């Protein structure tokens, strides 16, 4: 059993109030949310670079910060918290070589620096200054330096967002291996869903200073807690409707979608349909007539935009209620802008927001 980081803090910030309750184990824990949602402030509070108004931060039974009724009773200085931070802009010491950077936190035995440089595949670059290294190499040095500090927690603030995709993917793999090897608590802040998906065991969705949901990303996609979560993870095809006896009445469309539904009659609900689940078909002949029973999850609409990315073909179809429906398929079919099509929404693929 590794260390456990327990956070319960409040802080009045300009524009919003940060209210965070989290318990983080030895894992890569992702704080995911839009810019300005308070993610970095959480890291600053953990590292002791910012003081919360109220609350407590504990690491493995040791209290790092405690403030009750606005009076701070425990507040360990940053250097005693054993939380090393890795920043988006690397923050290497520009006047020191890679090796000297890694050796910086080491007191007496500097030989550990060589071991860490080797661990991060940097031994051949040890003598170089930060300005002589690529972004990916600099961030490797920064991680090695953080490891040299013998911290219990690594705080990563958008660590790879300035890097290209392949390097980012590789560093994510290395980070996961590193976590498994060391059993460190790693708190990873990002506003990129891609990064959140590749890096994390568990994800906290942060919005406006609050935690909207904490679980695995798969769980978040299949059981989103509320509308705000849907907005933050940026899903397409969000629909609002009312539960009726024979299905969901889609607001503004006057049409019904047959759904496998839980929930009370008359309840207003929000749901979404992953674009991969939506098929579209061409319509032969005249476009009119109402939909019959067997076609209850079909809608007619007009293609307004299409885009091929790799093997995936995306279409955006405008329904009569002006709602855009996005479909992403790999079946090779293409429809032209302006073409009337039929959108098929499988009833059992509609994902409802929990509340």
Partner 1 sequence: MTWSALLLSLQVTLVATIALSVIGLVLAFALARFEFRGKVLVETLINLPLILPPSVVGYYLLIILGRRNPILEWLEWQILFTWQGAAIASTIVGIPLMVQASRAALSTIDPVIENAARTLGSSEWELFRRVTLPLARRGILAGVVLGGARALGEFGATLMIAGNIPGRTQTLPLAIYDAVQARRYAEANRMVILMTIIALAGLWTVRLLESKRMSQRG
Q: Compute φ and ψ for 34, nearest 5 degrees.
A: -70, 165
- Nearest to partner 1 of 175, 230 (CB atom): 175
- Nearest to partner 1 of 89, 134 (CB atom): 89
Least distance between partner 1 and beta carbon 81 (Å): 8
Least distance between partner 1 and beta carbon 48 (Å): 8
Least distance between partner 1 and beta carbon 110 (Å): 14
Among residues 14, 12, 101, the alpha carbon closest in space to that of 51 is found at 12
Residue 73: C-alpha distances to residues 53, 64, 225 (Å) = 12, 10, 36
- Nearest to partner 1 of 125, 151 (CB atom): 151
Tokens standing for residue 255: 């049409």
Q: Three-state SS for 46?
A: helix
90 torsion bin: left (phi>0), alpha (psi -120 to 50), beta (else): left
Among residues 67, 32, 36, the alpha carbon closest in space to that of 53 is found at 67
DSSP label of 53:
S
Least distance between partner 1 and beta carbon 94 (Å): 7
Least distance between partner 1 and beta carbon 58 (Å): 18
Least distance between partner 1 and beta carbon 226 (Å): 34
Q: Within a 10 A sphere around the Cβ of 327, how many other Cβ atoms?
A: 27
- Nearest to partner 1 of 18, 155 (CB atom): 155
Q: Residues interacting with partner 1, by CB under 8 A? A: 47-49, 77-79, 81-85, 87, 89, 91-95, 104-105, 129, 142, 145-146, 148-149, 151, 155
DSSP sequence for 74-127: EE--GGGS-EEEE-TT----TTS-HHHHHHTT--S-THHHHHHHHHTT-GGGTT
Q: Within a 10 A sphere around the Cβ of 57, how many other Cβ atoms?
A: 27
Least distance between partner 1 and beta carbon 331 (Å): 49
- Nearest to partner 1 of 188, 316 (CB atom): 188
- Nearest to partner 1 of 97, 207 (CB atom): 97
Q: Radius of gyration (Cα) for the chain, nearest Å?
A: 25
Among residues 59, 48, 61, the alpha carbon closest in space to that of 7 is found at 59
Q: Three-state SS for 29?
A: strand
- Nearest to partner 1 of 95, 322 (CB atom): 95
């Amino acid at each position: 059993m590794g260390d456990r980081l327990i956070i319960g803090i409040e802080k009045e910030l300009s524009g919003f109030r940060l209210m965070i309750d989290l318990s983080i184990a030895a894992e890569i824990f992702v704080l995911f949310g839009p810019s300005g949602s308070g993610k970095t402030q959480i890291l600053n509070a953990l590292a002791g670079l910012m003081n919360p108004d109220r609350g407590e931060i504990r690491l493995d039974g040791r209290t790092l910060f405690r403030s009750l009724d606005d009076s701070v009773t425990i507040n360990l200085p940053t250097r005693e918290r054993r939380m090393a931070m890795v920043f988006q802009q690397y923050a290497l010491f520009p006047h020191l070589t890679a090796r000297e950077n890694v050796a910086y936190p080491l007191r007496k035995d500097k030989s550990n620096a060589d071991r860490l440089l080797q661990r991060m595949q940097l031994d051949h670059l040890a003598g170089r200054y930060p300005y002589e290294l690529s972004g990916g190499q600099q961030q490797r040095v920064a991680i090695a330096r953080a490891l040299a500090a013998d911290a219990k927690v690594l705080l990563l603030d958008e660590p790879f967002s300035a890097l290209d995709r392949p390097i980012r993917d590789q560093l994510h793999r290395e980070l996961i291996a590193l976590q498994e090897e060391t059993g460190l608590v790693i708190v990873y802040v990002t506003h990129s869903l891609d990064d959140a998906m590749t890096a994390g065991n568990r994800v906290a969705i942060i919005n406006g200073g609050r935690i909207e949901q904490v679980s695995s990303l798969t769980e978040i996609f299949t059981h989103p807690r509320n509308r705000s979560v849907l907005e933050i993870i940026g899903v397409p095809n969000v629909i609002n409707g009312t539960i009726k006896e024979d299905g969901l009445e889609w607001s503004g469309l006057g049409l019904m979608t047959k759904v496998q539904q839980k929930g009370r009659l008359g309840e207003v609900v929000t749901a979404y349909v992953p674009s991969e689940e939506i098929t579209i078909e061409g319509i032969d002949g005249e476009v009119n007539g109402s939909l019959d029973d067997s076609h209850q999850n079909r809608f007619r609409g007009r293609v307004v935009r299409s885009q091929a990315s790799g093997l995936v073909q995306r279409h955006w179809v405008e329904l009569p209620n002006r709602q855009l429906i996005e479909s992403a398929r790999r079946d090779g079919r293409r429809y032209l802008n302006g073409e009337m099509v039929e959108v098929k929404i499988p009833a059992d693929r509609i994902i409802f927001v929990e509340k």
